[in-house]
Structure formats: structure tokens, C-alpha cells
Amino acid sequence: MSKPAKVEMFYLAAIVLVIAVCVVPLTAEMSTSGFSYHKHRVLKMDQALLRVNNELDTELVVSWVSERCYQCLYQPLGVVLAKPSPGQPSSEDFIVGTQHGLTLQLNSTPINLELCTVPFHFGEQGNYSLWVKNLNDSSVVNCSIVTDADPVNSYIPILVAFLIFAGLALVFAIGRTILGLDVVKGILFRIGGTMETERLINSELGSPGRTVAPVTDNILPPSPSPSKRLRSLDTFRGISLVIMVFVNYGGGRYWFFRHESWNGLTVADLVFPWFVFIMGTSIALSVNSMLRAGATRSSLLRKVVWRSLQLFIIGVFIINPNYCQGPLSWDNLRIPGVLQRLAWSYLVVACLDLLVARAHLDIITTDAWWSPCLDILLYWPAWLCVLLLETIWLCLTFLLPVADCPNGYLGPGGIGDMGLYANCTGGAAGFIDRWLLGENHIYQTPSSRVIYATGMPYDPEGVLGSINSVFMAFLGLQAGKIILHYRDLHTSIVSRFLIWGLILGAISAVLTKCSTDQGFIPVNKNLWSLSYVTTLACFAFVLLVLVYYTVDVKKWWSGAPFYYPGMNSILVYVGHEVFEEYFPFRWHMANSQSHAEHLTQNLVATSCWVFISYVLYRKKIFWKI
């Protein structure tokens, strides 16, 4: 291995070590605070202790509902007896959640009369008292919450981790600048006196704008003729993949690094659509490259079908890990999954592109009145097919009759919608999966169980949502067409990306009415709703503009370290799933109820995969399917 490669490998290994050394000590501090009151009740992550003190002459029924639960039934928390004697309240302790704000409801028994409701956002491992009493000896009931012990600040580990990564980035930037100074170059040459020093200065960390030789793409093989590879696309893919690995490993057990229970967005909901989007962009560039190299459409179609089949089979294996213990059992084999969704989206979009793609774009006139829209009009048959698929999705979603459910139902069921449609989770999407695949072959513990207490199996990678994942990949394909038609015209590419982002953002605003739950079609990852696709595609175009401008236009950034996993995305994704439970990606925790230790473990595991991808990059090892 060359000296520059060893230096870069040392830097990346140092990142993993620094994270482990600097963040882990926070665990002990976080785990020993917040227990000065009611020490007989041990609190876990995202929990607080609430003592309800009843000074009334009647029993109290305490119920709660999360502020993130739309039109939900109150859930029982417990009963507090009436005061035993004047001046002596009756008390009961309850454990409450702290991830989201709660609304507490207190009713009297036996007539179930609502006395008061109290909205409050409890802090993690805090201790609180809720006092219920008559106001000034009148019949008016007063409910007030008092903080007995301050909660811990569970977000400190995130701040520390951010400062560590920001500090490392700053050190690398300063080092790169120093190495680029003529005085430093002269000193290094005098000390080293070999070309090895020159390679050190011009390594990846020293010159982010350096052009690398084209390597194998994850979708199609490269063209035999050398061509310039856009680092921004691999960087974008790497950003999506790194965040995906981090949230799949747990995201420090913070709620915003987990999937939203139903409507709305969290960080975890962003990355999969972005990965689908950039896959579509890669399809456009790869197909064009192969056609220019002389490959036939029929041969490319065979490769597309074969690769899609491989992706699907690999996906089935990694989401059903009991293959290590013997043959897979068909009785509870889950069929849909992330790689299966990627395989389907890739198959459809690549086939559409093969039908309409043009090998020689340089002979297309740009003088016609319609030339500003040529990247759309030239491929109108593909657009027509995608719009037809979207029409099918709308008709099935809003017109398909589902037993005991209203037509067009988009809710989670469970305790949502006041419990009227408890078994209607996902509406038509859930019905189609249960009818076509069977309840035992779809996801059994959907994220809707967390807040909406649903009891029905539901698969977020189900059949109906696959139509919209095709639309997402096709929008990524459109980004690739823009790059092809306006190559080297950076202003035109950036402006068209921004226009697409604006159009898709406006569509999302109309569909959602700029709200989480009140729109015609809410943003929903579980359903892969139309507004979810338009919203995430809007974000993708804007993010791609930023990455493209900084990496490929201005060359301010090399794309490292995201560039490396982006070049080996399938290997990193499959590897992080298969080896999730093995060291160094997982270890026995000293305190499993600490966000700090979970965050440390998940960051170290993610950094390890970045480091592995870098080593594979230096070794020129790329997993192709």
C-alpha cells in the first residue's frame, strides 16, 4: 500500500477511535443522574416518573394520549384512590414516556366525569408531581404539575459527537491547506526527496478535485471508453447510505432517528427514497454510456432482469436471517423488503429507459422552440407509462373497497380515528398485501404500533407503495437526463434541478395543505404516499444541487468520506445487515438504558463501514451484481 493510502487509512481509523474514546465516558455521567427522588423506581430511556396526588373525595382515572397521535383515543394509565382523610392526599406513581408531549386526562369515578386535561412534555428521567385539588374550597378542580427532580439532557451526546466530527473535519481541512502551501511543499521535498512526497500532497485528502479513473457502477458496467465520472452522484449515494446504516443500527435510540409512526417525517424517513432517486440517476448515465459504446438494448435488458433478480433474492435472504440455522421456513418468510423494493424500481425504470433512451444526444438540435423541455419531450412514452402507474395507484388507493373500512382510508387504524377503524391499517395498501402475500409474509411489527397501538401486520415495502417507488426512481432518472442533455453547462443543470425542486415542492404543498395530517394525501413513509415521493424528491433535487456544485463544479470538497461507501453501496448495505450483531458493530453495553452508549455504538459501527469501504476503494474492490 502506498504512503498516501496509509495516511488516509490512519486518519479514518483515528475517527473511529476518537468517537469511542470521547463519547463513551458520557455514558457513566448520563446513567447516574436523575434518580434523586423516588429511587425505588428505576427509570429507563425515554421515561419519567409521575406521582399523582389526589386531594379529592373521589377516585381518579388517569389517561394519556401522545401529541403525535392524530385523533386518538385516550389510553389508561391507572387509578388513584380518593384521599383517605382531610389534609392527607392519596398518591400513586406512574411511568410516562418522554419522546413526545403528552396530554393527561383525569376523570372521576364512577360517573366518568372529565375533571381536567393537562398537556405536558416530560423530560427523560425526570421526577414530577401532579396535584389534583379543589380550588379555594370550591367545586372547581385544579390540576398542576410540579418538577421534583430535573430531567437529564439526553441530547448532550449528539452535541459532543457533532463537535468531534466537526473538529476532525476542521483538522483535515487545515492539514490540506498547509500541505498545499509552496513553502511546506519545498520543505517536504527537501526532507523526502522522492516522488512519494508528491503523491502524498496530491492524495485524496490533499486534492479533493482530483479526477479518478472510472470504476464499476452499482447498476450497470462502465463503458469501455473512458469517461468522466461525477463524484457528486457517488457522494449523494454515500450520504444516503451512511445515514441509512446509522438509523438501521439504532440511531442512538433517539425518536427522530427512527421511522415516523405514521404521517410526518423523521431523519430515518429521508434516506431510502434518496437512495432510490440516485439509483434512477445512475440508470440514465449507465444506459447512455453503454449504448454509446455499442451495446444492444436486448443485451442490456437481459442484464437488467438478471441484476433485478439477484437483488430480490439477496433481499429475501438478509431480512430472513434464520437461514443460518437451516432452510428458510415458508410459513413466516417475509417477502417484501428494501432490496426487493430497489430491485422492482430498478427493473421498471431501467426497462422504460431502454425503450426510449437515445445513444447520441449530441446530434439533437437545441434551436427548436421546444428545446428547453427536450429532456422531457424526447421521452414522452416513458412519462406516459409512469403517469399511468400513478393513476393506477390513485384508483386503487381511493376507490378499492376494503371490508369494514371507508374507501380511500389512509390512516393507521388502531387507536387512531377514535378507534373506529382499528383493523384498517394502511387501507387499500395493507389489504392488497394481506390478500396477495398473506399476513405471515409481511412485516409483523410496523412502526404504527409505537404510537397508534395497531395490531395488524403491515409492510412499509409492500406492493402498492412499489408504484410510487418507481415514480421516485423515475424522477432520479430525470435528473440523469438533465445531466446528459446539459453536460458541462453547470448553470443550466443547477437551474433545472432547482426548478424541479420548486415544482415538486409546490405539488407537495397542495397535496398536504402544508400540514402533517390535514392534507388530501399526507406525507407518509409507510404508505409511500404520492406526497411523500414529491416531498422527498424535492429535497433530493436541492441536496443534489448542493453536492454537485461543491464537488463537481467548484471542487471545494472531494466527497470524502461519503464517496467511498457510495462506490460500494450494495456491499455496505448487505454487510451491515448480515454482520449487525457481531463485534465491532455491536458489543455488550455497560448501561443499555443510556442514549450516550447507544449513540457511541451506532456511530462506531457506521464509521467502521465507512472505513471498510475506504479500504476496499483503495484496493479497487467493488461488488458488482
Instruction: Give catalytic residue positions.
Output: 259
CB count in 10 Å sphere of residue 35: 17
From residue 110, alpha-carbon distances to 59, 79, 114, 141, 245 in Å are: 8, 12, 11, 17, 51
Beta bridge partners of 118: 104
**Cβ density class 197-219: b for 16+ within 10 Å, e for less:** beebbebbbbebeeeeeeeebbb
CB count in 10 Å sphere of residue 40: 6
What stretches of 400-548 show up as alpha helix (H) in DSSP? Answer: 428-436, 448-452, 465-485, 490-512, 530-548
- What's the CA gap between 252 and 241, in Å, rounded? 17
- What's the CA gap between 422 and 453, in Å, rounded? 9
Q: At what angle do helices 530-548 and 490-512 cross, to 10 degrees?
A: 160
Task: Give the position of cell 432517486.
Answer: 277
**Local structure of 142: helix, strand or coil:** strand
Task: Give the position of cell 470524502.
Answer: 560
Closest CA to 208 of 617, 616, 618, 559: 559
Question: Cβ neighbours of residue 259 under 8 Å, at least 6 residues apart?
Answer: 266, 268, 269, 447, 460, 525, 526
| DSSP symbols for 56-120 | SSS-EEEEEEETTSTT---EEEEEEPPPSBTTB-EEEEEEEE-SS-EEEEEEETTTTEEEEEEEE
Region of 136 please: left (phi>0), alpha (psi -120 to 50) or beta. Answer: left
One-letter amino acid identity for 86? P
Question: Cβ neighbours of residue 71 under 8 Å, at least 6 residues apart?
Answer: 416, 417, 418
Question: Cβ neighbours of residue 534 under 8 Å, at least 6 residues apart?
Answer: 504, 505, 507, 508, 511
What stretches of 120-228 show up as alpha helix (H) in DSSP? Answer: 156-179, 182-192, 195-201
Largest CA distance in the chain: 94
Beta bridge partners of 303: none
Whether the CA torsion 282, 287, 290, 295 is positive or negative: it is positive
Closest CA to 465 of 430, 441, 494, 418: 430
**Local structure of 148: helix, strand or coil:** strand
**Cβ density class 172-191: b for 16+ within 10 Å, e for less:** beeebeebeeeeeeeebeee
Contact 34, 124 (CB under 8 A): yes
Closest CA to 175 of 117, 243, 167, 303: 167
Q: HEC string of 306-354?
A: HHHHHHHHHHHHHCCHHHHHCCCCHHHCCCCCHHHHHHHHHHHHHHHHH
